[in-house]
Structure 1
Amino acid sequence: MYKNSILKPCGRLHQSPVGNRKEGRALNTNAPGSRKRGRPPRLSREQIVEAAYRIVRDEGAENLTMRRLSRVLGSTPMALYHHVRDKDELLTLVLEHVAQDLPRPPLPDNPRERIIVVCELMHRAFVDNPWVVPVVARGELVGLSAVWMTEEIIGALIDSGLGREQAFWTHQTIWYYTAGQTLHTPPREPSQDTGERAPHYPKVAATEPSPTAFPHLAKVAGDSRQLEAQYSYRLGLTHILDGALPPGSALR
């Protein structure tokens, strides 16, 4: 009795509309519009790196996580770990992705000129990819295809007469200057109320609390905006080199 009860449902359940609907769905799995479940599409390392690059470019490296990236790719975090070990390895791959597209033009023979050309290339790369600065500032991650810039700068500093330690330290000074220029906050927009910009800080300092409180700032208060506009990355780099390089190595 029990055997027949298991193999053959009673008449009421067999005729149930719910049972018919289940049966109908089972027989209609190939109907148009039905979706088959399966594994997500297979990923390549190139797809992962490109998607990660778009995230750090648009949102910053701090917003790159395996979970965030997996959502963008329609995959799972575990699937990503088949291609990259962790976030640091992923960032290294993204840095290399950017570094491979950087230009590498012929360089001048003169060491000082060579430093300036390479540093301006580095500055341009940072301006185009500002998210790179805080990542490489850690000193642990790097795109190897961009390391030639460091090699050229240190080599040119040594060719200019600096010792090994001085060349390395001067390169560090140049790097931090370049990074700071990249992250420099642009001047405020004109006031929406009056259409004029607020007074520049030297002018404010020269008049408050008294005109004699900051006499040197008072000397530049009148045209400090114009002086600021004339300042450039190359001018600041020239000041660094003038102070760091031995006499006689200046660009003529």
Structure 2
Amino acid sequence: MTREDGSGTPGRDPQQLWLSPGQPRKGRKPAFSREAITTAAVALADAEGLEAVTMRRVAAQVGAGVMSLYSYAPDKDTLLELMIDQVSGELPASAALTGDWRTDLKTVAHLQRANMLRHPWLPTALSTRRSLGPNTLAFLEHALAALRPTGLDGAAKLEIFAQLTAFVAGHVTHELTQAAAAGSPDRAAAEARYLAIVAADGHHPELAEALSAPARPLAPEATFTRFLNRLIDGLGTD
């Protein structure tokens, strides 16, 4: 029997999940749909984090029995796949491209960041994703089109997209952690005092020099843009 946390289960085959989605058993028409279940799960994750998303909680949100949900999502892993693809539908996959692949790729990254900030659970969820749903594929198609002017082969384009997505997910995770830490000014001040002492001990000259340099703007958007520019401007087409 499927466990509540979905562990130890293989999940649904991608073809069955995305091309031949399961239908509820025969009988009277249910009062909910796969989309409604996924929407409820996304709302729970947005409000309380992934830990709050259980089949029982989602069933309560849509007013259904837990067992009836398994016709749509046989386990939590499958539900997570549905959630990822649903929020990926918020990414504009048909936006016009400039033809400058670096500019277009930076736009792709900014769109991904905005999506992950709207859904803070998404960076973690992406690390466990096992298949690409239709919305995810649509945005991937857009990103690959942005990379067409590079002349790179398909494998290299896919690698760049994976690298970019991993960068954005990692940065957003750090960004959210820093935002939470900002709510504890005493801790931040203690960390600054500690680094000042370490930098002055004579054993870390490189750190001392780095800390003495003029500070860069710390606004989240500006910081992300600086890091992103370094990553994409450094990408070659060999």
Partner Cα separation in structure 2 for residue 56 and residue 143 of structure 1: 19
CA shift at 1:182, angstroms? Answer: 0.9
Residue matched to 2:223: 232
CA distance in 1, matches of 2:97, 2:203: 49
Give the letter aligned to residue 48 of structure 2: E
The percentage of aligned residue pairs carrying the same residue is 24
For 1:80, give the aligned amino acid.
L
1:150/1:75 Cα in 2 relative to 1: closer, same or farther (>3 Å)?
closer
5+ unaligned residues in a row in structure 1: which ranges? 1-40, 248-252
Highest Rg: 1 or 2?
1
Report what 1:197 is aligned to: 189
Give the unaligned 5+ runs of structure 2.
1-28
1:39-71 CA-to-partner distances (Å, cap 9, x unmatched) read xx9431143222222212222233322122223
Alpha-carbon shift at residue 77 of structure 1 (Å): 1.0
Is the contact between residue 91 and residue 112 of structure 2 (CA under 8 Å) also seen in structure 1? no
**CA RMSD across the alignment:** 3.0
The aligned runs of 1:1-252 (5 Å cut-off) are 42-45=30-33, 46-104=35-93, 105-184=95-174, 185-186=177-178, 187-189=181-183, 191=185, 197-200=189-192, 202-207=195-200, 210=201, 212-223=202-213, 226-227=215-216, 229=218, 232-246=223-237
Shift of 1:215: 0.9
**Do the aligned partners of residues 60 and 199 (structure 1) sit closer, same or farther apart at CA in structure 2, a change above 3 Å counting?**
closer
**Comparing both chains, which one has the higher relative contact order based on Cα–Cα distances under 8 Å and sequence gaps of 6 or more?**
2
**Take 2:198 and 2:133, find their aligned partners in 1: how far apart are those partners?**
44
Give deviations 1:104-158, integer Å, cap 9, x for gaps: 4322121111111111111111111121222222241444213333333344335
Alignment partners' CA distance in 2, 1:202 and 1:156: 42
Instruction: Return the alpha-carbon distance in structure 1 between the equivalents of residues 85 and 79 of structure 2.
Output: 10
Count of residue pairs the alignment pairs up: 201
Structure-2 change in CA distance of 1:163 and 1:103 (3 Å): closer
TM-score using structure 2 length: 0.70
8 Å contact from structure 1 (residues 203, 217) kept in 2? no
